[in-house]
Amino acid sequence: MNNIVPIKWVLARMCESDIVIVDCRFQLGKPLSGREAYKESHIPGAVYLDLEQDLSAPVDPDGHGGRHPLPDAAVLADRLGKAGISNETRVVAYDDQGGAMASRLWWLMKYLGHEQVYVMDGGFTAWKNAGCPVSAEQKIIVPARFLATVQHNMLVEVDEVRESLGTGRFVLVDSREAPRYRGEAEPIDRVAGHIPGARNVFWAEGRGPDGTWKSADEQAARFAGVGLSQNDDVEIVVYCGSGVTACPNVLALREAGFSRVKLYAGSWSDWISYSGNPIATRDEEHQSKA
């Protein structure tokens, strides 16, 4: 099955006993807005997981690990269990941020060895616009046991990225908007630019005009625009500002048939926390043509 499921798929299965629907809505700069939106209205039976409280670790004072560090695997496994998620559960994640937050949960669960996790296409607004039911009632959660089997091969650390520069070991994909990639604007992090050699593919362009995810062929075309082909024997490392909006690009690459895809979870905010790391501020040869 694909990693992205349509609203009709969720509607038909939402009451099945092995399904847990997770509301991941979150707005950067407004940390309470997602939980407040959930309390007001959500898919019936959905539980809420917060990007910063549940799906990230506390920020290091030195900035190492980035603005949204990966949560400890054991801590996250315990949190998933408290949300009623076991190793047998089918998990459906949704948000209202173009799939960025839902993709974070999708990636984290894959990282913990859980395969049955999906992102709902279109998000909560599309669910409501389709006339599907919503509720303000919060589900009574029966805790479960979730055991993590960490997939270390899905992740790269800053040292690996630094040592790979100029060697061709990785192809780096920067998921941020082009002005941030080029160093022309930086509204969030203290330093502008990108990791030298990175190719720019803005994550939000993985969706069509109606807000739904593009097809596998269309996703493949996005990455072909920066010289990437499924037939290439290369490892792709995806990053963004803090490791969150890189996740929808990881998902898009998977949908397009790329198998050797890793996440640099600390991303740009981690990279610039080390004073010796090189920074580029010009267009690279393979910047996205999209």
Domain limits of the chain?
Answer: 4-129, 152-271
Are 137 and 44 a contacting pair, CB within 8 Å? yes
pLDDT band, residue 282 (cuts 50/70/90): confident
CA–CA separation, 107 vs 238, rounded Å?
12
How many CB atoms sit inside 10 A of residue 246's CB? 28
Residue 117 forms beta bridges with which residues?
A: 91
The token pair at 88 is: 């047998």
For residue 37, what is the DSSP state?
H
H-state helical runs in the chain? 7-13, 33-40, 73-82, 100-111, 123-129, 158-164, 178-182, 216-224, 246-255, 267-271
Q: Give the pLDDT confidence score for residue 289 in this predicted structure.
A: 33
Classified as helix, coil or strand, 80 is helix
Max CA distance (Å), the chain: 54
Q: What is the 3-state secondary structure (H, E, C) of 237-259?
A: EEECCCCCCHHHHHHHHHHCCCC
- The pTM for the full model equals 0.95
182-195, pLDDT tens digit by residue? 999 999 999 999 99
Of all residues in the chain, the percent with pLDDT exceeding 70 is 98
CATH class of the region 4-129: alpha beta
* Residue 164 pLDDT greater than 60, yes or no: yes
CA–CA separation, 171 vs 176, rounded Å?
16
* Residue 290 pLDDT greater than 50, yes or no: no
CA–CA separation, 45 vs 54, rounded Å?
19
The token pair at 180 is: 């941030």
Residue 90 forms beta bridges with which residues?
A: 19
14-49, pLDDT tens digit by residue? 999 999 999 999 998 898 999 999 999 999 999 999
* Residue 145 pLDDT greater than 70, yes or no: yes
The token pair at 217 is: 């062929």
The token pair at 191 is: 């330093």
Rg, C-alpha atoms of the chain: 18
CATH class of the region 152-271: alpha beta
Residue 132 is among the residues annotated as catalytic for this protein? no
Residue of 15, 24, 240, 247 marked active site:
240
CA–CA separation, 88 vs 96, rounded Å?
26
* Residue 12 pLDDT greater than 60, yes or no: yes
Q: What angle do CA 29, 22, 189 make, to 5 degrees?
A: 25
Q: Give the pLDDT confidence score for residue 86 in this predicted structure.
A: 98
CA–CA separation, 65 vs 155, rounded Å?
13
pLDDT band, residue 122 (cuts 50/70/90): very high
Phi/psi region, residue 227 (left: phi>0; alpha: psi -120 to 50; beta: rest), is left
Mean pLDDT of 113-138: 97
Q: Give the pLDDT confidence score for residue 287 in this predicted structure.
A: 43
**Residue partners of 167: CB distance under 8 A and separation at least 6:** none
**Does 152-271 match 4-129 at the fold level?**
yes
Residues in the chain: 290
Q: What share of the chain is helix, strand, coil (3-state, %, to 5)?
A: 30, 15, 55
Nearest Cα residue to 1 out of 94, 116, 88, 151: 116
